[in-house]
Amino acid sequence: MFSKLIFHRLLGWKISGQLDADIKKAVVIVYPHTSWHDFYIGALARKIINREINYVAKQELFDSAFGWYFKWMGGAPIDRKTSKNTVDQIVNIFKERSKFRLAITPEGTRKKVKHWKTGFYYIAKEAEVPIIPIAFDYAVKTVKFYPAFEPLENLEATFNHLRKCFTYVEGKHPELTSPLAL
């Protein structure tokens, strides 16, 4: 497979762990997000494991000439122009689809931030889906899949669990890695 050749041989990356094929719906937390390179590393890893992993983006991208590409890559449009609650829109996507694994970078940007965005927790709680942590560890060139878990009783407990997964992970640009903080 061409993806394996690029990912393993040319780029020197590997995959540890696995994404449970029986989990059809989940919020997939991808951390850290420090570079545009994360996109193709993720796309190649997704192709190699042969699992659909989705994302959301503004409606306007899907209305453009490249809308077909965004859908083909697993995208789902959301309306960011109106006052509609983004969490509610995403929860509705989960309800409408039989399979939807939503990849989210909790920093919300490639820049360093002081606090993670918390929408992923509320989406998982309201949609009643598990959270799957995935790390892009550039220090050891490994995409690490951690076991899925149900959102814990509160945001703090969920963050503590995620901290255990991500504490020693290094992004492409370590200086841009955001702390695991609320």
Please name the residues in contact with 5: beta carbons below 8 A apart, sequence gap of 6 or more.
none
Q: Are 170 and 138 in contact (CB under 8 A)?
A: yes
Per-residue confidence band for 161, with pLDDT thresholds at 50, 70 and 90: very high
Q: How many domains does the chain have?
A: 1
How large is the average pLDDT for residues 96-122? 91
Residue 89: pLDDT over 80: yes
- 126: in domain: yes
* Mean of all residue pLDDT scores within the chain: 92
Q: Write a three-state SS string for the chain.
A: CHHHHHHHHHCCCEEECCCCCCCCEEEEEEECCCCCHHHHHHHHHHHHHCCCCEEEEEHHHHCCCCHHHHHHCCEEEECCCCCCCHHHHHHHHHHHCCCEEEEECCCCCCCCCCCCCCHHHHHHHHHCCCEEEEEEECCCCEEEECCCECCCCCHHHHHHHHHHHHCCCCCCCHHHCCCCCC
- Least confident interval from 77-91, 119-133, 136-150: 77-91
How far apart, in whole angstroms, are the C-alpha atoms of residue 127 and residue 87? 9
- 58: in domain: yes
- 105: in domain: yes
- 15: in domain: yes
How large is the average pLDDT for residues 14-26? 96
Angle (deg, nearest 10), helices 119-127 and 86-96: 40
For residue 180, the model assigns a pLDDT of: 77
Using alpha carbons, list the distances in angstroms from residue 9 to 5, 37, 62, 71. 5, 17, 34, 29
Percent of the chain with pLDDT over 90: 69
For residue 116, the model assigns a pLDDT of: 87
- 181: in domain: no
Residue 64: pLDDT over 90: no
How far apart, in whole angstroms, are the C-alpha atoms of residue 165 and residue 96? 31
- 72: in domain: yes
How large is the average pLDDT for residues 85-102? 94
Per-residue confidence band for 99, with pLDDT thresholds at 50, 70 and 90: very high
How large is the average pLDDT for residues 154-179? 92
Per-residue confidence band for 83, with pLDDT thresholds at 50, 70 and 90: low
What's this model's pTM, rounded to 2 decimal places?
Answer: 0.91
- 182: in domain: no
Domain that holds residue 15: 2-176
